[in-house]
Structure 1
Amino acid sequence: MTEKTREAALAYHATSPAGKIAIQPTKPCNTQGDLALAYTPGVAEPVRAIAASPEDAYRYTAKGNLVAVVSDGTAVLGLGNVGPLASKPVLEGKAVLFKRFADIDVFDLEIKASSAEQFIEVVAALEPTFGGINLEDIAAPACFAIEKALSERLSIPVFHDDQHGTAVIVCAGLLNALELQGKSLKTARIVCLGAGAAGLTSLHLLMSLGAAVENMILVDSRGVVHSERTDLNRYKQPFAHTTPLRTLAEAMNGADVFIGVAAADLVDAQMIRAMAPRPVVFALANPVPEILPEVAHAARGDLVMATGRSDYPNQVNNVLGFPFIFRGALDVRARQINQAMQLGAVHALSALAKQPIPREVLRAYGLDHLEFGPDYFIPKPLDGRLREWVPAAVAAAAVDTGVAQAPYPAHYPPRPAPSA
């Protein structure tokens, strides 16, 4: 980041009022009568109603449209374990995205916890306040245990965006990229560099779409994950094959797909040249990818590529997922965000990218033309159709799998057909 950009970012956040979010009342509070309804004595009536019927909290309070964005600050962006307080700007930013894209209100909660168990207890105790929990920037492998424990304990949806949000967008983009390259997910040889939350969860979701685990090579900071290693945690072990491969370069030889969720400049042109014909490269490290698109395209003229950056085509951006996944979950009061709901989002995003692009989307990006192809196989974040397509697919899957506590909303578009 340049010094000019750094100063602009700090000034943006420091301009009064400091930060990026605020709370505003949604009901009038201008007269004595208003105040009597907002607080005492009028507030006693919804209190009595909720005490008698807890479901009335969704009728009389903001619970149904309120999400907690929660972090312990152990894996903040590419900055690592900077602590809960330093994670606050990111969580406020997440609140802005929830509101901007899905009109969901957020409280950001930065939790100082000495252990995963303490973190779980704190978040679990907050269940009465919120309609959903979005876990954010929590280091692996603790994030897996935290997400699992909270999902099992709470009756509201819990979603770790660094796991499932990234996986949804990766899967949607990869389905389309493989289609463009004339390849099948079932037979594609996939190399994943990065064995944290995003990488492991993406591989599992790809398996649910038909990818074969025997065709996956996982690479972490110590090289290929293989069956002879004794340092593997239980989350990496399912991908520990018997193989002579030891290095990333060896793994990339003949691979159809590369997924990078690791760090900058770990892939070189020779590795790209060694891949199979018509390869797919997802170099998602931010702000600098594992290999820059210009380097990859210079090495191979037959590849298609995605990054995590907005200044290159095909950005894998979690904002395509989490606001709309929560919108669909909240609108049917889902008890969880299950795999079927995630797959609904995958298929909705994949299908949307193949639709004609509205003029307003072209104007938002300063483009004259855009169509499904090598430079566009993932929807753009400012495509207003996301607000209809993704929540509808998520809500329908929640209803179909029995985790919804309210019917498919009447104001939604017609229910999409179940995904194959």
Structure 2
Amino acid sequence: MAIRPQEILNNPFINKNTGFTEEERKAYHLEGLLPPKVQTIEEQAVQAYHQYQSKPTDLEKRIFLMTLYNTNRTLFYHLMDEHIVEFMPIVYDPTVADSIEHYHELFMNPQDAAFLSIDDPENVADTLKNAAGGRDIRLIVVTDSEGILGMGDWGVNGVDIAIGKLMVYTAAAGINPAHVLPVVIDAGTNNEKLLNDPLYLGNKHKRVRGGRYYDFIDLFVKAATALFPEVLIHWEDFGRSNAATILEKYQNQIPTFNDDIQGTGIVVLAGILGAMNISGEKLADQRILVFGAGTAGVGISNQILDELMRHGLSEKEARKHFFLVDKQGLLFEDTEGLTPGQKGFVRSRAEFPNSRELTHLEAVVKAVHPTIMIGTSTQPGAFTESIVKEMAAHTSRPVIFPLSNPTKLAEAKAEDLIAWTDGRALIATGIPARPVQYKGVTYEIGQANNALMYPGLGLGLIASTARLVNGEILSQASHALGGIVDTTKPGAAVLPPVSKLTAFSQRIAEVVAQSVLDQNLNRKKITDVKTAIRDIKWEAEYKELVFS
């Protein structure tokens, strides 16, 4: 059966709008359905960018870009490639937060996502198959939206997180957009605002937990891996009570990783390695305080712990380097309400004569004298001047990473940290930060954005046909990113800039793919990683329209 012209124009994966040649218009009966001028993709990009610039707010700019995405995927990515630094905070963090809050009010198009309802378990496989539409899916980003950083539980609205992540995969690493699938698991929501909103589009009941929830996750994994045998599953923004449990169950069975646990961890580790390259210090000599011991904080701690053990420390010795602080204060063996992940990093009260007083961050900093302080607390301004100066009094190059986002939730501002430490702090933030001018030196501020890591990681895993994702692969990825630092430049950033995202995503992909091959974790025979990566990379350029 011949494809109808309307089907071509309505399919974002093949639609070119005015980019269809005269030959294509004639061959596929598109004559008269488009303005007569045939535009190049470059001409279309200029036109689209002018429209983008006319939008008065970041949210309206995002809505425009999403409309373009829904209409012509190739043009969208061509345009994003030209303006990646400008577009990243629009299509993803921080503007995606506004999009999530208003998703049910703004909904126009499902954007090729799969919506899996826990109330409809018998249709999991059919839903995934329908959403894929016959496409060869190699990458799934899946969320249940319970633990969106800085936002919490947003139910089915969190599908925008999965869509945004996949946009970055394609823009940064060239993963074919026809090979990806965003998935949201609607297990209900505990967000009363959504439950009481007549426009909310998800299941209107409290979150389902326990055995029924985990059985549904298992249904999803089995259906996804059966339908798409080469798929990599990326878990995103699951709540702290479920995220680690899910990862631990499947990480030794299928190629999978959790971006909040491992992705954040390897980016932060890369930033620390970059800081060590600048300071000339050793990771094994650091005292690490993590403020905010949720999924991200524990994930970061585990990644650094793994790296310390790779440096020759025993697990017992490595754990002595960590001090985790949560709402209860410094975490001790007898602290109530500990999560399974937190239990591995608790301290003994016998270590601290004043342990009962260590219930807030400043007291802990005075007691432990950290050399590295990482914030994943979503407590704005938590890294105060007195706390930072106390830390800086006991270390020559304090490493301070206020990672909470969006901007309003950051533990500190980069310019304050530079001033409070007289330019000695080595900083990475969770949100974009402008360079800081201080005493004649321009300090570049690294952004500990997971987008620095996961696109290259995903490309390397897919290209190498990895069977599993293990600690060695993640360590190699961290070293690759942390090594892209100019240690000779005063004020150098601890992480490379987003403006070079495509270049170092390629580098990370090569390192990851080589690690897979070195460990014999590849499913298919690969002789050269650069060739394997080149063969699967997609470019945002129009191809000749051909139907068999």
| TM-score bracket, shorter-length normalisation | 0.7 to 0.9
Matched, 1:326 2:458: yes
Please tell me whether the aligned partners of residues 162 and 197 of structure 1 are also in contact (alpha carbons under 8 angstroms).
yes
Work out the percentage of aligned pairs sharing the same amino acid: 24
Please name the residue that 2:198 is paired with.
none
CA distance, structure 2, for counterparts of residue 280 and residue 19 of structure 1: 41
CA distance, structure 2, for counterparts of residue 228 and residue 73 of structure 1: 31
Please name the residue that 1:387 is paired with.
505
Question: SS at 1:108's partner residue?
Answer: strand
The structure that has the greater radius of gyration is 2
Matched, 1:283 2:405: no
CA distance, structure 1, for counterparts of residue 490 and residue 343 of structure 2: 36
Question: SS at 1:305's partner residue?
Answer: strand
5 Å matches for 1:5-154?
8-15=57-64, 18=67, 20-21=69-70, 63=136, 66-83=138-155, 85-104=156-175, 105-113=179-187, 114-115=208-209, 116-117=213-214, 118-130=216-228, 131-154=231-254
Shift of 1:252: 1.6
5 Å matches for 1:8-407?
8-15=57-64, 18=67, 20-21=69-70, 63=136, 66-83=138-155, 85-104=156-175, 105-113=179-187, 114-115=208-209, 116-117=213-214, 118-130=216-228, 131-154=231-254, 157-210=255-308, 212-242=318-348, 243=352, 244=355, 245-253=358-366, 254-263=369-378, 264-275=380-391, 276-277=394-395, 278-288=397-407, 289-301=410-422, 302-312=424-434, 313-354=445-486, 372-383=489-500, 384-407=502-525
From the superposition, tell whether residues 15 and 303 of structure 1 become closer, same or farther in structure 2 (CA, over 3 Å). closer
Question: SS at 2:447's partner residue?
Answer: coil
Question: SS at 1:412's partner residue?
Answer: helix
Please tell me whether the aligned partners of residues 396 and 408 of structure 1 are also in contact (alpha carbons under 8 angstroms).
no
Question: SS at 2:237's partner residue?
Answer: coil
Please name the residue that 2:197 is paired with.
none
CA distance, structure 1, for counterparts of residue 390 and residue 531 of structure 2: 46
From the superposition, tell whether residues 120 and 374 of structure 1 become closer, same or farther in structure 2 (CA, over 3 Å). farther
CA distance, structure 1, for counterparts of residue 470 and residue 135 of structure 2: 24
From the superposition, tell whether residues 373 and 317 of structure 1 become closer, same or farther in structure 2 (CA, over 3 Å). farther
Deviation digits for residues 212-269 of structure 1 (CA, Å, limit 9, x no counterpart): 2112100112211012313212211111111424321122222111011111211211
Deviation digits for residues 153-196 of structure 1 (CA, Å, limit 9, x no counterpart): 43xx1111111111111001101213323422112111001112
Shift of 1:21: 5.0
CA distance, structure 1, for counterparts of residue 299 and residue 55 of structure 2: 33
One-letter amino acid of the structure 2 residue matched with residue 125 of structure 1: A
Please name the residue that 2:203 is paired with.
none
Name the Cα RMSD after superposition. 2.7
Shift of 1:411: 5.8
Please tell me whether the aligned partners of residues 375 and 411 of structure 2 are also in contact (alpha carbons under 8 angstroms).
yes
Please tell me whether the aligned partners of residues 453 and 505 of structure 2 are also in contact (alpha carbons under 8 angstroms).
no
One-letter amino acid of the structure 2 residue matched with residue 107 of structure 1: L
CA distance, structure 1, for counterparts of residue 66 and residue 274 of structure 2: 43
4+ runs deviating over 6 angstroms: 22-25
Higher deviation after alignment, 296-305 or 122-131: 122-131
Shift of 1:304: 1.5
One-letter amino acid of the structure 2 residue matched with residue 410 of structure 1: D
CA distance, structure 2, for counterparts of residue 372 and residue 166 of structure 1: 26
From the superposition, tell whether residues 22 and 342 of structure 1 become closer, same or farther in structure 2 (CA, over 3 Å). farther
CA distance, structure 2, for counterparts of residue 411 and residue 180 of structure 1: 30
- The structure that is helix-richer by fraction is 2
Higher deviation after alignment, 102-111 or 320-329: 102-111
Shift of 1:88: 1.9
Please tell me whether the aligned partners of residues 135 and 160 of structure 1 are also in contact (alpha carbons under 8 angstroms).
yes
Question: SS at 2:264's partner residue?
Answer: helix
CA distance, structure 2, for counterparts of residue 347 and residue 330 of structure 1: 20
CA distance, structure 2, for counterparts of residue 6 and residue 228 of structure 1: 54
Shift of 1:414: 12
Please tell me whether the aligned partners of residues 384 and 412 of structure 2 are also in contact (alpha carbons under 8 angstroms).
yes
CA distance, structure 2, for counterparts of residue 222 and residue 295 of structure 1: 27
One-letter amino acid of the structure 1 residue matched with residue 159 of structure 2: K
Please tell me whether the aligned partners of residues 143 and 235 of structure 2 are also in contact (alpha carbons under 8 angstroms).
yes
From the superposition, tell whether residues 17 and 382 of structure 1 become closer, same or farther in structure 2 (CA, over 3 Å). closer
Question: SS at 1:206's partner residue?
Answer: helix
Please tell me whether the aligned partners of residues 332 and 409 of structure 1 are also in contact (alpha carbons under 8 angstroms).
no
Flag structure 1 segments of 5+ consecutive residues without an equivalent.
Answer: 26-60, 356-370, 416-420
CA distance, structure 2, for counterparts of residue 284 and residue 175 of structure 1: 16
From the superposition, tell whether residues 315 and 24 of structure 1 become closer, same or farther in structure 2 (CA, over 3 Å). closer
Q: How many residues align?
A: 358
Higher deviation after alignment, 371-380 or 211-220: 371-380
One-letter amino acid of the structure 2 residue matched with residue 8 of structure 1: T
Flag structure 2 segments of 5+ consecutive residues without an equivalent.
Answer: 1-53, 75-133, 188-207, 310-317, 435-444, 534-548
Question: SS at 2:257's partner residue?
Answer: strand
Please tell me whether the aligned partners of residues 173 and 506 of structure 2 are also in contact (alpha carbons under 8 angstroms).
no
